[in-house]
Amino acid sequence: MIRLPDNAPIGPYKVQRFIKEGLYNDCYVVGNPEKGTFFLKLFDPDKVPATWFTEGEVTEIVSSRRVDHPNVISYVTDSVLSVQGRSYPWLAMQFFRGELLSELLGEGRRFTGPEVRAMIIPVLEGLFYLQNSLGLNHNDITPRNILLETQAGSAVVPKIIDLGHACAPFDGNPPFPLEDLNLLFTAPEALEGHFSPESDAFSVAALVFTMLCGQAPWNLTLDEQEPLWQQIDQLREARRREPVWPAALHAADPQLQKLVLTGLHINPQQRPSPAKMLQLLGVSAAGEDRHRTATPQRPARPSSPSGLVATTDGTELKKAMQRNTRQGGFADVAGMEDLKKMLTERVIWVLRDREKARKYRLLPPNGMLLYGPPGCGKTYFAEKFAEESRFNYMVVNGSDLGSTYIHGTQGKIAALFQEAQAKAPTVLCFDEFDSFVPARGSDAARHRPEEVNEFLSQLNNCAQRGIFVIGTTNRMDMIDPAVLRKGRLDLQIEVPAPDAATRRAMFIHHLKGRPLADDINLDRLASLTDGYASSDIAFIANDAALIAALADEVITQRHLEESIRCNPSSLAKANRRNPIGYRTEAPDAETRYKA
């Protein structure tokens, strides 16, 4: 990330001073003699998570353009800075003169009940506006994001600042890094990937508790130098206990007490939303509109070079290990019920139920090797395992990144595991695992024994570092035997060609949502595809859909059986070549693909 010096020009402004460095942006105060002073965020698009783009633009910029409320930091303008052929989007926001709430609390300041009420109502009104008018959660209501602006007559007006995590409610791995949040104010369900208006309400209740009592709820402090997963574990453990209610809270008025007691409820369904919190404090949520002008129309998008547009060819995803957006986990895997049951019982519950694991001194396995014929869903299953476990997911492909890791230095391999540990808990998947750790003494390992040794070293005790390693291969015989010992890849699981029940379930999965005739016979399709790989089933469903689409008709049993006849199993020892274009051997001389 470039660092702009004082007086450096950026758009119509000049830099007055650098404020702070974020995970993927830098913050500055900038100014213009005619326009005034502003906050400015400068983004590094290479560091912004791929999930944090909307239509090719940084999501925070897109969201900020819509904001117009006196208690929320306001959008001014945005554009792109070009430096040495690289493009950096930037966002200018309204500048406030005042103090951060975190600064006052850090100095030991405590607030009375009336002071807290006067400050928290504008915050709740700002949240209600974001949620009700824009459909956005803030997701990071903490003392560092509440600025107390001093206005004429020494009046102090709270402002919600930094929309760096604002987005619509969602369920899954967040599109932004959790490392950037103050976890003490993060709702329990948000740590599991469930962000809702009630999650912001928990943060507000924690904020009120801290302002009144001078400490975070549950009297907890976290060491930010510890891995993220360890901090989350500490939070979960502490929040299982009943919180201690200090005397300062008992001295507050009953409305504030109720706001804190209900707002810190572990179950979000038992927690009031920000709108209900306003009502609890005697303020009509609908009445907050008195503070707001009409939401402005979104300004025209500034011109930006194509380099800022998120690519669709996967280049950015190969360049960095990204957090996956959680979907349905094992629910997306057709069949394989025995394997899913075994992993749920032997691995996933140990990862999830930390309290019972500690009671029985259990450690989850270091990892597992999925082996079997190609095309049978090993890598797909690894991804769905990560979704089911709710861990972050990093995948390294032997062919895509071979020049970076296989032929790289020991330091690069160590850095890969350090990256996984920093994002722990993490599922780290090595596709084509035999290319990473070939048996020492073989021709494949002759030129890189040090790298194989480094892999062996890194694979030791991964569970204690919050890493679960998955290797996938169809050449188990080529992997160094030392990798397969207990303490490295503890589990070796065969993923064979799908059985009849699984093939039937796969046809259901791949035909779902397509226009179908009433004559589809799933049992016959499963019987006709005995010995087929999972990828073969997906291809057949799509191929049959193509035949039907070209004929402008619904998909029938005939289309599917025709596709099966023309596409033998990819696992067969001898695949015959298939003719391309017209098929004339059928009794009625019907063409396979109609013009």
Q: Taking residues 83-91, what's their average pLDDT?
A: 91
pLDDT of residue 325: 37
How many CA atoms lie less than 13 Å away from 175 in the CB half-sphere? 18
170's enclosing H/E stretch is: strand 170-171
Selection from 48-52, 170-174, 456-460 with the highest mean pLDDT: 456-460
CA dist list (Å): 370 to 367, 376, 396, 473: 10, 10, 15, 7
- Is residue 111 within 8 Å of 211, Cβ to Cβ? yes
Nearest to 19 by CA among 34, 35, 4, 36: 4
CA angle 46, 52, 56 (to 5 degrees): 75
- Domain 499-595 sits in CATH at 1.10.8.60
**φ, ψ at 62 (rounded to 5°):** -60, -45
Indicate the pLDDT class of residue 591, thresholds 50, 70 and 90.
Answer: very low
CATH 3.40.50.300: does it fit domain 324-494?
yes
pLDDT at position 441? 66
Digit-coded pLDDT (tens) for 88-146: 999 999 887 888 899 899 888 889 999 999 999 999 999 999 999 999 999 999 999 99
Residue with the two structure tokens 């306003």: 278
Query: The domain 98-291 belongs to what CATH superfamily?
Result: Transferase(Phosphotransferase) domain 1 (1.10.510.10)
Fold of 9-95: Phosphorylase Kinase; domain 1 (3.30.200)
Looking at the predicted structure, is the pLDDT value of residue 593 above 80? no
Average pLDDT over all residues of the chain: 81
pLDDT band at 69 (very low <50, low <70, confident <90, very high): very high
Which part of the chain is CATH 1.10.8.60?
A: 499-595
Give ranges for CATH 1.10.510.10 in the chain. Answer: 98-291
- DSSP 8-class letter at 9: E
**Amino acid in position 467:** I
Residue type, 550: L
Q: Where in the chain is the domain with CATH 3.40.50.300?
A: 324-494
